[in-house]
C-alpha cells in the first residue's frame, strides 16, 4: 500500500478501523479532537458506530458495554479526560475486558494546559485507579509507530483480555508524517473466540456475566492472583524497546520514550559528529517496563541520563533498573515546554565535564 | 463638569478579552457586571468559571473567583455557598459544560434549591475545543463530530435546559433570553437582575439561559451569525420566564399511609 | 542532508497549507518528512506556524528550535522567529506586510513582496504560494515539478485555481533561485 501523509490522530483512528474496531465512544478534548472527529467521519463509511458521549465517564462505560458484548472498541482522550475514565478502567481491568484507550497527554495537574507532556506516566503504569491492576501501556514515537501499535493493541487486548493504553503526547497527535498500512495484516497473537462475551444465552454454554464484583474474599483473592498471572506473562512476553548505539562503546546512556526520544536521537547524532559517544534505550512498552534492557545497557556507561516531559516519573523505573549502580542525571521540561536537541547536547556535555548535578535520593 | 454617561462597570476588569470578534460572551460579561454593580454586591461576590471559551472569565471580572473542572461549576458553587451563605455566588457555564458533562451537577444543584445563580450561555456548539457537536446543537447543524449535520436518530434532539429544569418541584427562577439585539440585551440584564435578587434575598436557585453566537465555529461572519441565531435557535429555544419561586414548592408531598 | 523550515504568518494566510504541500512533495520524492503545526493558545491570537522537516534519513526531532530557514509572512512572525534561525541560515521576509529589515547580519535574507506579486498575478490569495516558490528556489529542498504535482492534487476539487497558483509558485521560484543558497 502507498504511503499517506497523515496526522497522528487520524492515523490512530484509521489504524483502529483497519484493526476491525467499528465502535468508538469519546468526548472532545484538546489535543486529540481529531481522533473522534476522524471516527465520526470514517466509521459510518464502514458500517460502524461513533457516539459522542456526554462525558468521559459515560464514554468509558459505553466501552465497558461494547467490549463485554465481544466487540473491538476504542476511546481516546487527553489527561483530564482520562482521569475521569479511571474508575471505569478499573472495572474494565477487573472484569477482564479487552479495550484500547488512547491518551494524548497534555500538561497538568488540574486543567493545566493543552501543550505536550509526559506527566501521566505514573498514572498509566502504576496508579490509574483503585485496586490491583495493570494496563499494558505502549508509547509510540512516530505517527507510523502509533498506527502500528494501535493495531497491535487490539490483538494484545483480546489475547490478554485486558485494557491496553496507547500513551502519546500532543506532538504525536498533531504532527503529520507518512504512514503505511500493511494489507492483509495478520493478528500478532493467536486469538481465542470471545465465548465469554454476554451476547444472549440459549443454554448451550454457561451464562456470561461481565463483572468485577467478588464478595467472597477467597474468590477475590483468587481473581487477583489470576490477574497477576496475566501481568507476569506480559512482563515475560510483551516487553518492547529499541536501542541505538549500544554495540559500540559509549560513555553515557540516555533513556527516553515517545517523541522525546526523537529529540534525544537528534542530539546524539550531533554529538557523534563531535566524537562524543552516547547510547540510548527507548522503552516502547512502559508496562511491562524494559528493566533488564536498561540495566544491561547501563553497565557499559559511566552515567545514565533520563529525559522526560515531566517532573520526574519514568526516572523512578530507571532507578529500579540500575539500582544505584551508576550516577543518574535528569533533564526535563514541563508545563507544555519541550526539550530541544540543543538542551540535550548541553546536558550531556555538562555530565561529561562533571558540572551536571546527579539525582540523589535520601 | 462634564457628566459621565457611559463607563465600564466596576465589576469588569480593564483588560482585553480573548473572545473572537462577534462573540457574545463579552456582552454577557458586561451585563452581569452591571447588575453586580447596581445591586451593590460586587465586594461579596464569588464567581465560578467553567471549562469552555469562558474558562478565563476569572480574568475579566473584578471579583474573587474559582475555576472549576469541566461541568462541575454548580457543585463548586454549592460548596462555596454552604461554606459562606453570606456570599453572592454565581457560576458561568457553556452548553457543553452544563448540558453535557455537567448535567448531573446542574440538575441536583437546582433540585436542592441552592441559593446560587447560574448564567448558562447556550451557543449550540463546543466553542473552546473547535466546534464539536453540543447537546444543544440544532438538528442538521454541521459540527466537527457530526460532519453531515446533527442526526436526531443518533444524537437525540437538542436539550432545552430551561424547560427541563423548570419541571423540578423545588422553587427556582428559570428564564431564557438572548443578547443578539440591543432590546433583548436590556431584557437579559433584567433577567440577570431578578436572578441575582432572588439569591440576595435568600429565596431560591436561579438560572438564566442566554442564547449566544459563535461565529468562529458556526463558520459565518458575526452579522450572519445573529441572523442564524434568530432564524434557527429562537423558534426552538423560546425566550421567557419558565419558572418563578412562586410556582414551585418546598412542601413535601404527604406520604400515603 | 536535512532541510527544515518554520513557516509563520496570520491564520488564514494559508501557511499550514504550503507547509503540507512541501511535506507531501518531499514524501513523493521518497524523502522522510514531518509536518508539525503550532497548536494552543496562540491560535486564538490569529497567528499560525508550522515546522516542516525533509530529510534523507528518518526525521529525528520534529520540533526544531533553530531552523535552517524561516518564512515570515507577517511582522509578529519575523519578531518571533528571526532570533532562532541557525547562523548562516535563510530568512524569507514578506515585505508586503513587514516594514522592517532583518535585524541579523549572519543570515541569507530574501525580501519579496508576496502579496503585491500575488495581486499583480490576479491571485489575491496566492501570497503563500509565492512564498513557497521563493523557499523552493532558494533551497531546492524538493523539486519544483514535484510541488506542482502536489498543487494539482491539492486543488483537484477547485480546478479554477490550479494554474494561477502554479504561476505564483513559478514567480516565487524565480526570485528564490536568483538568491539560491542551498541551505
Ligand atoms: C474532563 C474534560 N473533558 C473535556 C475537556 C475539553 N473541553 C474543554 S472546553 C469543552 C467544551 C466547551 O464547550 P461549551 O461548554 O459549550 O463552552 P463554549 O466554549 O462553547 O463557550 C471541552 C469538551 C476538558 N477540559 N475536561
Ligand atoms: S470560539 Fe465561539 S464561543 Fe469561543 S470565543 Fe470564539 S466565537 Fe466565542
Ligand atoms: Mg458552547
> Which A-chain residues 209-268 have CB contacts (< 8 A) with chain B?
none
- State the Cα–Cα distance between residues B161 and B168, nearest whole angstrom: 12
**Mean pLDDT, residues C60-84:** 95
pLDDT for A1 equals: 60
What CATH number has the domain bearing residue A125? Answer: 3.40.50.970
Interface of B with A (CB under 8 A): 51, 55, 67, 69-71, 96, 100-101, 103, 126, 128-130, 132-133, 135, 144-147, 154-155
On the CB side of C104, CA atoms within 13 Å amount to 21
Quick one: which H or E segment has residue B209? strand B205-211
Same domain, A161 and A251: no
Angle at B233 between CA B229 and CA B236, to 5 degrees: 165
Distance of alpha carbon C58 from alpha carbon C34, whole angstroms: 10
Q: How far is the CA of B125 from the centre of ligand 3 (A)?
A: 4
To probe the interface with C, which of A177, A245, A309, A338 has the most C CB atoms within 10 Å? A177
> Are A176 and A70 contained in the same domain?
yes
B25-247 topology per CATH: Rossmann fold (3.40.50)
Are residues A123 and A12 part of one domain?
A: yes
**Interface with chain B: mutation pick from A13, A54, A112, highest number of B CBs within 10 Å:** A54
Name the residue at shortest CA distance from atom 1 of ligand 1: A81
What share of chain B has pLDDT > 90, as a percent?
93
Give the domains, in start order, of chain C with CATH numbers.
2-178 (3.40.920.10)
Which helix (H) or strand (E) element contains residue C55? strand C47-55
pLDDT at C44: 55
Q: Is residue A13 part of a domain?
A: yes
φ and ψ of A249, to 5 deg: -75, 150
Could you tell me if A168 and A263 lie in one domain? no
C60·A259 Cβ contact <8 A: no
Ligand 2, closest atom to CA C44?
Answer: 6
User: Does A348 share its domain with A299?
Assistant: yes
Cα–Cα separations (whole angstroms), residue B205 to B91, B115, C144? 12, 5, 66
What is the β-pairing status of strands B117-122 and A73-77? Answer: unpaired
Element (H, E) at B240: strand B240-243
Model pLDDT, residue A160? 98
Where residue A310 sits, what CATH number does that domain have? 3.40.50.920
Ligand 2 atom nearest B53 alpha carbon: 4
Within-domain flag for A203:
no
Three-state helix/strand/coil letters over B54-75: HHHHHHCECCEEEECCCCCHHH
Nearest to A37 among B71, B135, B145 (CB): B145
Instruction: Supply the pTM of this predicted model.
Output: 0.95
Q: Are residues A121 and A255 in the same domain?
A: no
**Nearest protein Cα to ligand 1, atom 3:** A81
> How high is the pLDDT of residue B254?
67
**Are residues A306 and A232 located together in one domain of the fold?**
no
Which numbered atom of ligand 2 lies nearest the CA of B123?
Answer: 3
> A207 lies in a domain?
no
Contact check, Cβ <8 Å, A40/B145 = yes
Residue to mutate among A141, A174, A176, with most C CBs inside 10 A, is A176
Q: Are residues A62 and A125 in the same domain?
A: yes
Residues A218 and A263 in one domain: no
Can you read off the three cell numbers belonging to residue C93? Answer: 521576509
In a domain, A312, yes or no: yes
Ligand 3 centroid vs B94 CA: distance in angstroms?
5
Of C48, C44, C42, C40, nearest to C10 by C-alpha is C48
Q: Write out chain A's pLDDT in tens, 362 residues.
A: 689 999 999 999 999 999 999 999 999 999 999 999 999 999 999 999 999 999 999 999 999 999 999 999 999 999 999 999 999 999 999 999 999 999 999 999 999 999 999 999 999 999 999 999 999 999 999 999 999 999 999 999 999 999 999 999 999 999 999 999 998 899 999 999 999 999 999 998 899 999 999 999 999 999 999 999 999 999 999 999 999 999 999 999 999 999 999 999 999 999 999 999 999 999 999 999 999 999 999 999 999 999 999 999 999 999 999 999 999 999 999 999 999 999 999 999 999 999 999 998 76
Chain A residues touching B51 at Cβ < 8 A: 111
**How confident is the model at residue A173, as a pLDDT?**
94
What is the number of structural domains in chain A?
2
**Are A133 and A230 within one domain?**
yes
**A195 within some domain:** no
* Beta carbons within 10 angstroms of residue A206's beta carbon: 9
The dihedral of CA B89, B95, B99, B102: what is its sign? negative
Read off the C-alpha cell for A246. Answer: 549500544
My answer on whether A157 and A277 are in the same domain is: no
> Over 90: is that where the pLDDT of C121 sits?
yes
Containing structural domain, residue A109? 4-190+213-237
Q: How confident is the model at residue C46 (pLDDT cuts 50, 70, 90)?
A: low
Contacts of B66 in chain A (CB under 8 A): none
Q: Is residue C182's pLDDT more than 60?
A: no
Q: In terms of domains, do A223 and A285 share one? A: no
Residues 3-32 of A with CB under 8 A from B: 27-30
Instruction: Tell me whether A269 touches chain C (CB under 8 Å).
Output: yes
State the average pLDDT for chain B. Answer: 96
Nearest CA in chain A to C38: A174
Q: What is the pLDDT of residues B134-155, one digit of tens each?
A: 999 999 999 999 999 999 999 9
pLDDT confidence of B257, banded at 50, 70, 90? Answer: low
Ligand 2 nearest-atom number relative to CA B215 = 7
User: What gap in Å lies between CA A348 and CA B138, rounded to an integer?
Assistant: 57
In 3D space, the residue among A265, A217, B241 whose CA is nearest the CA of residue C2 turns out to be A265
Any domain includes A206: no
Subunit contact C60:A177, Cβ cutoff 8 A: no
Asked if residue A221 is part of any domain, the answer here is yes
Grid cell digits, residue B128: 473552546
Contact across the interface for B145 and A28, Cβ inside 8 Å: yes
Which residues are close to ligand 3, an ion, with C-beta < 5 A?
B 94-95, 123, 127
Would you call A259 an interface residue with chain C, using a CB distance cutoff of 8 Å? yes
Amino acid at each position: 500500500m502507498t504511503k499517506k501523509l497523515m496526522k497522528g490522530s487520524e492515523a490512530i483512528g484509521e489504524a483502529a478501523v483497519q484493526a476491525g474496531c467499528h465502535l468508538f465512544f469519546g468526548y472532545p478534548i484538546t489535543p486529540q479532537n481529531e481522533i473522534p472527529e476522524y471516527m465520526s467521519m470514517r466509521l459510518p463509511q464502514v458500517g460502524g458506530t461513533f457516539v459522542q458521549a456526554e462525558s468521559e465517564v459515560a464514554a468509558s462505560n459505553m466501552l465497558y458495554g461494547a467490549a463485554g458484548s465481544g466487540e473491538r472498541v476504542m476511546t481516546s482522550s487527553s489527561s483530564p479526560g482520562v482521569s475521569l475514565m479511571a474508575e471505569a478502567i478499573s472495572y474494565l481491568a477487573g472484569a477482564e475486558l479487552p479495550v484500547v484507550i488512547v491518551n494524548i497527554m497534555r500538561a497538568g495537574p488540574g486543567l493545566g494546559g493543552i501543550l505536550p507532556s509526559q506527566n501521566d506516566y505514573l498514572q498509566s503504569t502504576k496508579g490509574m485507579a483503585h485496586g490491583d491492576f495493570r494496563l499494558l501501556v505502549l508509547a509510540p514515537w512516530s505517527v507510523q509507530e502509533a498506527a502500528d501499535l494501535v493495531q497491535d493493541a487490539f490483538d494484545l487486548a483480546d489475547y490478554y483480555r485486558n485494557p491496553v493504553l496507547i500513551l502519546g503526547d500532543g506532538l504525536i497527535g498533531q504532527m503529520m508524517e507518512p504512514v503505511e498500512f500493511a494489507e492483509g495484516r495478520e493478528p500478532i497473537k493467536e486469538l481465542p473466540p470471545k465465548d465469554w462475551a454476554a451476547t444472549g444465552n440459549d443454554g448451550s454454554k454457561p451464562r456470561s456475566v461481565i463483572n468485577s464484583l467478588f464478595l467472597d474474599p477467597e474468590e477475590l483473592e483468587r481473581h487477583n492472583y489470576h490477574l497477576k498471572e496475566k501481568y507476569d506473562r506480559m512482563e515475560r512476553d510483551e516487553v518492547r524497546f529499541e536501542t541505538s548505539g549500544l554495540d559500540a562503546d559509549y560513555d553515557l546512556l540516555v533513556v527516553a520514550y515517545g517523541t522525546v526520544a526523537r529529540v534525544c536521537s537528534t542530539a546524539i547524532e550531533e554529538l557523534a559528529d563531535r566524537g562524543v559517544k552516547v547510547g540510548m534505550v527507548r522503552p516502547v512498552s512502559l508496562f511491562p517496563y524494559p528493566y533488564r534492557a536498561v540495566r544491561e545497557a547501563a553497565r557499559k556507561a559511566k552515567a545514565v541520563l533520563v529525559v522526560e516531559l515531566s517532573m520526574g516519573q519514568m526516572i523512578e523505573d530507571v532507578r529500579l533498573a540500575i539500582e544505584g549502580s551508576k550516577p543518574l542525571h535528569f533533564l526535563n521540561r514541563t508545563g507544555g515546554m519541550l526539550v530541544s536537541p540543543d538542551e540535550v547536547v548541553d546536558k550531556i556535555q555538562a555530565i561529561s565535564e562533571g558540572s551536571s548535578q546527579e539525582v540523589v535520593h535520601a | 463638569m462634564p457628566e459621565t454617561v457611559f463607563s465600564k462597570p466596576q465589576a469588569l476588569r480593564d483588560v482585553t478579552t480573548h473572545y473572537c470578534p462577534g462573540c457574545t460572551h463579552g456582552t454577557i460579561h458586561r451585563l452581569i457586571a452591571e447588575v453586580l454593580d447596581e445591586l451593590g454586591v460586587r465586594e461579596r461576590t464569588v464567581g465560578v468559571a467553567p471549562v469552555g471559551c469562558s474558562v478565563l472569565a476569572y480574568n475579566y471580572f473584578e471579583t474573587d473567583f474559582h475555576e472549576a473542572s469541566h461541568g462541575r461549576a454548580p457543585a463548586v458553587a454549592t460548596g462555596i455557598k454552604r461554606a459562606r451563605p453570606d456570599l453572592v455566588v454565581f457560576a458561568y457555564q457553556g452548553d457543553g459544560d452544563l448540558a453535557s458533562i455537567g448535567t448531573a451537577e446542574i440538575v441536583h444543584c437546582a433540585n436542592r434549591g441552592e441559593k446560587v445563580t447560574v448564567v448558562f450561555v447556550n451557543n449550540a456548539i463546543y466553542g473552546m475545543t473547535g466546534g464539536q457537536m453540543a447537546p444543544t446543537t440544532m438538528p442538521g447543524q454541521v459540527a466537527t463530530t457530526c460532519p453531515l449535520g446533527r442526526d436526531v436518530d443518533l444524537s437525540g434532539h437538542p436539550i432545552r435546559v430551561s424547560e427541563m429544569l423548570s419541571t423540578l418541584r423545588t422553587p427556582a427562577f428559570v428564564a431564557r433570553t438572548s443578547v443578539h439585539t440591543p432590546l433583548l440585551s436590556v431584557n437579559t440584564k433584567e433577567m440577570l437582575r431578578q436572578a441575582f435578587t432572588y439569591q440576595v434575598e435568600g429565596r431560591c436557585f436561579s438560572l438564566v439561559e442566554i442564547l449566544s453566537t459563535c461565529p468562529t465555529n458556526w463558520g459565518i461572519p458575526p452579522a450572519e451569525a445573529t441572523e442564524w441565531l434568530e432564524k434557527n435557535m429562537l423558534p426552538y429555544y423560546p425566550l421567557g420566564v419558565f419558572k418563578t419561586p412562586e410556582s414551585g414548592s418546598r412542601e413535601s408531598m404527604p406520604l400515603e399511609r | 542532508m536535512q532541510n527544515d523550515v518554520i513557516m509563520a504568518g496570520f491564520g488564514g494566510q494559508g501557511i499550514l497549507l504550503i507547509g503540507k504541500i512541501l511535506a507531501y512533495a518531499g514524501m513523493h520524492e521518497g524523502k522522510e518528512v514531518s509536518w508539525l503545526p503550532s497548536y494552543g493558545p496562540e491560535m486564538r491570537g490569529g497567528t499560525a506556524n508550522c515546522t516542516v522537516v525533509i530529510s534523507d534519513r528518518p526525521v529525528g526531532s520534529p520540533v526544531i528550535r533553530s531552523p535552517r530557514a524561516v518564512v515570515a509572512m507577517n511582522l509578529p512572525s519575523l519578531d518571533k522567529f528571526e532570533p532562532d534561525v541557525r547562523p548562516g541560515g535563510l530568512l524569507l521576509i514578506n515585505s508586503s506586510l513587514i516594514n522592517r529589515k532583518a535585524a541579523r547580519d549572519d543570515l541569507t535574507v530574501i525580501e519579496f513582496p508576496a502579496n503585491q506579486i500575488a495581486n499583480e498575478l490576479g491571485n489575491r490569495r496566492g501570497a503563500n504560494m509565492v512564498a513557497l516558490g521563493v523557499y523552493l528556489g532558494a533551497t531546492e529542498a524538493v523539486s519544483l515539478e514535484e510541488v506542482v504535482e502536489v498543487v494539482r492534487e491539492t486543488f483537484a476539487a477547485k480546478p479554477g485555481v490550479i494554474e494561477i497558483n502554479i504561476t505564483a509558485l513559478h514567480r516565487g521560484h524565480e526570485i528564490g533561485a536568483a538568491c539560491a543558497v542551498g541551505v
